[in-house]
Amino acid sequence: MAEIYEQGTIRTNDGLNIFFRRDIPRHPKGIVVLLHTLAEHSGRYDHAAAELNSAGYGVYRFDCRGHGRSDGPRGDVRDFFDYIFDTDMIVEHAHNACPGLPVFLLGHSMGGFVAAAYAAEHPEKIAGEIITGAAIRMVPALSFLLSETSSRHRERGDERFSLVAPCWKENDEGSWNDDRYVLDSVTVRLAGNVWLSGADWFQPRMKDVVTPLLILHGEDDWFVPPEASRWFYERVSSPDRLLHIYPKRGHFLLDADTEVLSDITAWLDEHRNGTGNPHGSVV
């Protein structure tokens, strides 16, 4: 149970208000900054935040620009690095509000990609990161949007595409239809800036990911194939890394899944004091 609950906004350098929540238990052992995926928002992680609070970890969550209750054109981003800048703003806020506590990132799907990129850019600011179903590279469900040329997202970026597609309807962990903050479309520019420009920037920098790393993926993930996590695991430099593929699990691993959240809190307990597994392993 959270001892401190707060929600509000933080203003970015380019004038946007980013909506955030923080849930802090009494005597927290560390802080987890949680990043949501494409088209959703921080409010969809109440269960994960409650489980982390019960294990003694404070949680910061925020809505990416253009998502949820944050400012910005809906389902759009002008630069992949905007997501990294906004994450850094929240990480700094967590450090300032909870001095001396280790700060970890937990990112899902697109949020996992942002978390991984952040770790390459600012390894000194986090004690480790956890990524679930991370869309580290182009996902098959979106590749048709960008198959013409890589310039499409610049020349026709305002075009929107619906997320009510067969692959999205096959969401095996529940419907988004009743959530008014979930987007039903995003821009081609967002997809291009994340999975073309962002991926082009990140791939040569994967070697810069040196922080402790927990990579979780569902074997039956319908949106991001588990091969993406295996590919990432093999290319990062972190000596302390663990890849866990869950049999018969889908994309949304954090949705009310006690086993996954128990594995996450156990990993956090092992790493909050700077200890962990000095050698990579696959489960």
Residue 28's pLDDT is what? Answer: 96
Residue 203, pLDDT > 70, answer yes
| Higher pLDDT pick, 51 / 141 | 51
Task: With beta carbons less than 8 A apart as the criterion, state whether 235 and 150 touch.
Answer: no
Q: Which of 1-10, 19-28, 92-101 has the lowest mean pLDDT?
A: 1-10
The full DSSP string for 198-267 is IHHHHGGGGGG--S-EEEEEETT-SSS-THHHHHHHTT---SSEEEEEETT--S-TTSS-HHHHHHHHHH
Given a cut of 50, whether residue 77 has pLDDT beyond it is yes
Which phi and psi angles does 62 have, rounded to 5°? Answer: -145, 155
Average pLDDT, the chain: 89
What are 94-138's pLDDT values in tens digits? 999 999 999 999 999 999 999 999 999 999 999 999 999 999 988
Work out the average pLDDT over 216-227.
94
Q: Decide if 60 contacts 21 (C-beta within 8 A).
A: yes
Q: Which amino acid does the sequence have at 186?
A: V
Kindly tell me if the per-residue pLDDT of 46 is higher than 50. yes
pLDDT at 154 over 80: no
Residue with tokens 């988004």: 176
The residue with greater pLDDT, 277 or 181, is 181
Domain 4-282 has what CATH class? alpha beta
Nearest of 202, 92, 80, 76 to residue 136 by alpha carbon: 202
What per-residue confidence (pLDDT) applies to 169? 43
* Residue 166 banded pLDDT, cuts 50, 70, 90: very low
Residue 152 confidence (pLDDT): 60
Express each pLDDT in 234-280 by its tens digit. 999 999 999 999 999 999 999 867 899 999 999 999 999 876 665 55
SS (H, E, C) 38-59: CCCCHHHHHHHHHHHHHCCEEE
Cβ atoms of 218 and 260 closer than 8 Å: no
Average pLDDT over residues 59-66: 98
Which percentage of the chain shows pLDDT scores above 70? 86
Closest of 116, 6, 16, 12 to residue 61, by C-alpha: 6
Q: What per-residue confidence (pLDDT) applies to 271?
A: 96
